[in-house]
Amino acid sequence: MVSASRHTPAAAAASAPDAGGVLVLGIESSCDETGVALVRTRASGVPELLAHALHTQVAMHADYGGVVPELASRDHIRRVIPLANSVLAQAGQSLSAIDMVAFTRGPGLAGALLVGAGVACALAAALGKPVLGVHHLEGHLLSPFLSADPPEFPFIALLVSGGHTQLMRVDGVGRYALLGETIDDAAGEAFDKSAKLLGLGYPGGPALARLAEFGDDSAYKLPRPLLHSGNLDFSFAGLKTAVLTQARKFEGSPCEQQRADLAASTQAAIVEVLVKKSLTALRATGLKRMVVAGGVGANQRLRAALNAACAQLGVRVHYPELSLCTDNGAMIAMAAAMRVQAGVEAPQRQYAFDVKPRWPLDQLASAAQGT
């Protein structure tokens, strides 16, 4: 499945007011989505997304109940070049027009990252253009700038992507201060693992959220780990254990209503923790703007609860477009363009590459602040 850009080629060309901007091709291949996008920097304002295309491997991995790294890597190899061609065609641009190639350097699956890095560096070398490795989580963090209602710095960011749940203060591109993070299971893992315990398919998080729509979120009393800890750290491993314990109490196979009630109660517990910790961060910093990014940021219950709570504090909440909450090339191209535009990092014509399967975002922030 390839999803087209929100711009047609003609519209993309017509909507580009700064024809002299830097044209950035971004490649994302950190896990189970292959994404390619084209972004152009502008003299003022945020860079502009010209086109993007995405292939998801969900159907391929569903038979295994989770991502198989070797299969993911092989599929990235098959998809990345056709997607790049599609993006260039959508934007009405030639390969020679590209000024810079960006790729996800980490974190992620090592083999999958190597595919994107290898293609990006080979392409940049062939064109004689600079290349830039991007932090995957920074891509998510800056993805709301791709929306129709982009945020302004500074803001509090709730980053809920896969195995990462973090609260950060963001004062600018590359200026990130970690306020709190998960000490075991992240919110996304709690969704997925709880879904598996309920016998739901892969990917578990969206399946659990759909089932929760038919349940009573107060049916089961589940823990809210670290809710009153006095800090901004998260822990969801205990919640998963509580879901397992409750599921085992069902006599025989649970009926559909029991499953829906447990799904709703699980979702409510996760959302309450995320919302209350976010409000604590906002009050502690005094900031009046918040960004929510990452796959869990697409959860409608989370969005509704955050919107309601933040409205009472006079805080504006910004999200990526729903189609850009999961991994995608647009966020990688955007992050690279914003780093270059802000003067935080300069791309290099050095084509030897490495990847960083484990790469804390605060390490990137420290390096950026030191430049």
How far, in Å, CA of 187 to CA of 269, rounded?
10
Per-residue pLDDT band for 124 (boundaries 50, 70, 90) equals very high
Q: Is 59 helix (H, G, I), strand (E, B) or coil?
A: helix
Nearest to residue 103, comparing CAs of 82, 85, 76, 66? 76
- Helix, strand counts (H, E) of the chain: 12, 11
Query: Minimal CA–CA distance to 141: which of 346, 334, 298?
Result: 334
- Kind of pairing, strands 155-161 and 289-293? parallel
Give 155-203 pLDDT, tens digit per residue. Answer: 999 999 888 999 999 999 999 999 999 999 999 999 999 999 999 988 8
Residue with tokens 């982009």: 150
Residue whose C-alpha is closest to residue 344's, from 121, 144, 177, 172: 172
Report the chain's C-alpha Rg in angstroms. 21
Give the mean model confidence (pLDDT) for residues 304-308. 98
Residues of the chain with pLDDT > 90, as a percent, come to 84
φ/ψ of residue 17, rounded to 5: -75, -20
C-alpha distances in angstroms, 186 versus 19, 33, 236, 296, 369?
42, 20, 6, 10, 27
**Cβ atoms 212, 198 nearer than 8 A:** no
Summarised one tens digit per residue, pLDDT across range 42-89 is 988 899 999 999 999 999 999 898 999 999 999 999 999 999 999 999
Q: Residue for token digits 């976010």?
A: 278
Q: What is the pLDDT of residue 253?
A: 76
Q: Where are the alpha helices (DSSP H) in the chain?
A: 9-14, 58-62, 69-91, 110-127, 136-142, 187-197, 204-212, 237-249, 256-285, 300-313, 329-341, 361-369
Between CA 284 and CA 302 the distance in angstroms is: 21
The pLDDT tens digits for 11-23 are: 333 333 345 699 9
**Tokens 């670290």, located at residue:** 226
37: CB partners within 8 A, 6+ apart: 5, 25, 26, 49, 50, 51, 52, 53, 87, 328, 329, 330, 332, 333, 334
What whole-number distance in Å separates Cα of residue 110 and Cα of residue 70?
Answer: 10
Amino acid in the structure at residue 188:
G
CA gap 99, 124 in Å, rounded: 9
How many Å separate Cα 268 from the centre of its chain? 21
Q: At what angle do helices 110-127 and 69-91 cross, to 10 degrees?
A: 30
